[in-house]
Structure 1
């Protein structure tokens, strides 16, 4: 179960949305399942937008009555401090960091694979969730909040879910306690998953989560025309540069050289100790020439392992007094530092460099096998460093986040650990720095770096074995699945197969061979045996592919297995040929009056007909005139052979004559 908390200012707008058709008309059978005592006694059942307005007024009535409609304000002191650090005055900063929060809204969603729950179960879950959150059934005599639970069918992705809306003010005038409500909602979901036998999220139980991409970020990406969101771009670069540099000062210089604006966060009371940072891109201009306001992202908002303290733990930077003083000098340059040209190695794309990188990765894999399973700090550090190497290769081979970036993020989630469990200094050193440095400095590597990706995936499988040995089977299985899919996609792109287009997957096809090779690497099976199986199945598939070209009505696909669809040019040619054939003059069979069949006999006029309709009707009526008044004329031949006549079928028979009229017989048949 996934809870998602929102706060907003307009209760009526929220309830109208929940009872309405939805953004894509996906809401169906909108109904109220549960609520507080007053709300449930009146509004349980089907709900429309008019009734939703009444519910909204009831939920908001304590604020309207006791506060005379005054808004409930919430101030983000963290945002205010960040704005003041940018030079904004205190008054303006706190005004900008204040927003109205009259409503509290949370959705509880199940995965599509879990199916649907009945209304009685959802009702019980809603009551238990509000109790776990402390919004209802309290032991301190505090009245329940005004709340309602609405169900309106499956989401666009097929997820069964409910929405819970509550007013920010209780009936006694006290304010709803929303402190740490995000984490409290996760704790409540954990309790409900076990109570109702739902799927337990491994990410919540074992850690390894990351912040999702919001709709606003996607919309900003579309406006600016960027290949990825700003958060994704910053996350890839910050992680890759951290692994490719040897000191904190070098990390700062290289980030600024990559065009990233960096801002330090000093310890309170001075500028002698940097305890955090924030990054952003320079101001963008959208396609409609509107400037986009720059957005700052702290290290923790990029990823949990990209906070400054976490990077200092796993990046294994130099930590002597001279290195710390150099880093502090770089931090003090602040926003005034001008970008310089990033360092690039001329030999980075050479085959010798790739051989050196693969050899280093092999040594790193052997080193990880020596890490004790119980040394969580050591293998978490190894996972974060491997994530940095993947991010460096992703930066040089992927225009937008692809399979290598997914593997990097998977490893980064495995490397997350609480700050109090990290060692002050990394005792194992960094065996991947030279690898990441060479990958980051690459000038023009090919997008199909299969050998490098395979060597990196072997490092990832070692992390997976450590996870499985340390009773984190869910995380190990997720890592193996991600690695298998990502490496399959890398092999497919190297073979010239576009994974975004439909393709054949049966045994012997190129896509199947790519999946077999990826599975052999991830599962650690014999690769020579895998290649032998591929060599045996491929010729049979090629024979089937050749037969498909001459088989009528079959699915067409090329030698790579990509399914061939009708292109726009092919469709245009087919329509044009059909129109030409319909307009071609033909000699229809004559009817008894000696004229062609008139379309007005079928209830249509010539003026109302479209091009080609007359030819289609004419062709269809030809079969009606098997016999002609002209003894010299012959009936048209059909695909079954020449038309048969009574003389040719039974020469001794006479031509057909209509029977004599029988009044009683005609009357009985309605004639």
Structure 2
């Protein structure tokens, strides 16, 4: 799907239309090349009181067509508002010719869903602000054979305020990607957009060439995707930047710092890589290439906002590879410890249920913590053959990014909400570091122990709760569908583990003779686990 905004400039400034009646008359008219056919309303704002699918013929219903155009603008006229640059926003959403055939074209109901999703995405008809008046019109294929819908929006809202359009083109690109990723629409993906928009949140920007290269080498996925998961696993067990670096190395990942120009005292970035086979070249990926949320500056803001790494000799030593001590435990844990991790997850879920869905920052934090736990689990159990646990980790990472994006919108000045950037800092009530540390001792051989089965059961329930919140916040349909599919695969994995349990009773785990430990819901720095 392609979005095309009608952008005109005069004197170097963006201008909009001023004549909604003329535009609506054109849309329902015969067209410049007599190409308009079966002209009809796809959807409209409630104020217009026009039903979906209403058909208006330009020869017999010209008065009704003009009245429809006038109804888009009566409130602005009544309030005497004039915008010097104009007030009519016009955009088309188009399909490729091969998707516009009788067998593949979208139904009017599908177009109506997409039109309303666009209004929500752009903020024209969504949230606490007064809605804009808008109209979606279909009038057949273009002269090039493209099915398309016209969207007409009055930028003067019902209360007289003006609709802003921050990141207009990016949002429309994201909307198109979300539509393409919704399987029931059956649309192909437009090249050049994959991985560059919000639909790729939680995933690295991976090109088709990288995917094909990985397949030729017999890899389950590109290194970029797997390395992002290793980084999230290391974040899940690290209390500070030094532990993050040491954790990555303990997980077998090569790490190198990027220093500020002029010295080696200030680390401003990092790269990671898998250890190459003999004779092969090391392929490094910067944090930003893994995902924009995994750059060093974002990690410092989101995970260790109170720390000053440039003033910490331990952090500098860790980057230099000279920091002593281990982060990950070397032995297993006994059944009691695994039961405690199950209890911690149960408490977190019970607490999360009490959080209103209109507080997305806390939901983002919970999803991010759970994604870290699952990332560590996948790294230790699935290794270089990531499967269900890896997919679930990626889905939760994506949920966290979407929820945080919603929180950032709410924190925008003038929105009327108080959730700001500081809301990304850790809330100890949702801290799952202790769980991640215990999970780091899991292995493929012990993957069916009773303790891990109990933990997986709680992960399934936690993911179900997060999915419900995503749906309640109006998350993109394709994201919901992917999350629910992954949730179903986790349930299947749980049932498989139950059917093949290796002798441990439900609620136990670890190995015989493993050491006991205390796992508190709030991780205390320095406490043994």
TM-score, length-scaled by structure 2? 0.51
**Structure 2 contact 309–316 (Cα < 8 Å) conserved:** no
Aligned pairs for 1:564-575 within 5 A:
none
**Structure 1 contact 241–251 (Cα < 8 Å) conserved:** yes
Rounded Cα–Cα distance in structure 1 between residues aligned with 2:284 and 2:97: 30
**Structure 2 contact 259–268 (Cα < 8 Å) conserved:** yes
Rounded Cα–Cα distance in structure 1 between residues aligned with 2:204 and 2:103: 26
2:293 corresponds in structure 1 to 305
Aligned pairs for 1:62-461 within 5 A:
116-117=104-105, 123-125=144-146, 186=173, 189=176, 208=201, 210-211=203-204, 213-214=206-207, 216-218=209-211, 220-221=213-214, 228-266=221-259, 273-285=266-278, 291-314=279-302, 316-317=303-304, 319-321=306-308, 325-326=312-313, 328-330=315-317, 332-333=319-320, 343-348=328-333, 350-399=334-383, 400-416=385-401, 417-418=404-405, 422-423=421-422, 426=425, 428-429=427-428, 430-442=430-442, 446-448=446-448, 449-461=452-464
CA gap 1:292/1:199 in 2 versus in 1, 3 angstroms: same
Rounded Cα–Cα distance in structure 1 between residues aligned with 2:179 and 2:465: 34
Where in structure 2 are there 5+ consecutive unaligned residues?
4-94, 107-139, 151-166, 190-194, 412-419, 502-529
Work out which structure has the larger RCO, using CA pairs closer than 8 Å and 6 or more positions apart in sequence: 2
Deviations 1:523-550 (A, max 9, x none): xxxxxxxxxxxxxxxxxxxxxxxxxxxx
CA gap 1:2/1:279 in 2 versus in 1, 3 angstroms: farther
Deviations 1:129-182 (A, max 9, x none): 9xxxxxxxxxxxxxxxxxxxxxxxxxxxxxxxxxxxxxxxxxxxxxxxxxx9x9
2:517 corresponds in structure 1 to none
CA gap 1:477/1:356 in 2 versus in 1, 3 angstroms: same
Where in structure 1 are there 5+ consecutive unaligned residues?
4-106, 130-179, 286-290, 498-671
Aligned pairs for 1:516-535 within 5 A:
none
CA gap 1:224/1:361 in 2 versus in 1, 3 angstroms: same
Aligned pairs for 1:27-46 within 5 A:
none
CA gap 1:270/1:359 in 2 versus in 1, 3 angstroms: same
TM-score, length-scaled by structure 1? 0.41
Deviations 1:426-478 (A, max 9, x none): 25125201001111133566223432211112111222232233232634454
1:491 aligns with 2:490: no
1:468 aligns with 2:471: yes
**Structure 1 contact 394–405 (Cα < 8 Å) conserved:** yes
Rounded Cα–Cα distance in structure 2 between residues aligned with 1:411 and 1:191: 17
Rounded Cα–Cα distance in structure 1 between residues aligned with 2:265 and 2:455: 42
**Structure 1 contact 224–284 (Cα < 8 Å) conserved:** no
Rounded Cα–Cα distance in structure 2 between residues aligned with 1:127 and 1:473: 21
- The number of aligned residues is 329
CA gap 1:357/1:283 in 2 versus in 1, 3 angstroms: same
Rg bigger for which structure? 1
Structure 1 SS opposite 2:422 = coil
Deviation of residue 376 (structure 1)?
Answer: 2.0
CA gap 1:406/1:373 in 2 versus in 1, 3 angstroms: same
- Which moves more between the two structures, 119-128 or 463-472? 119-128
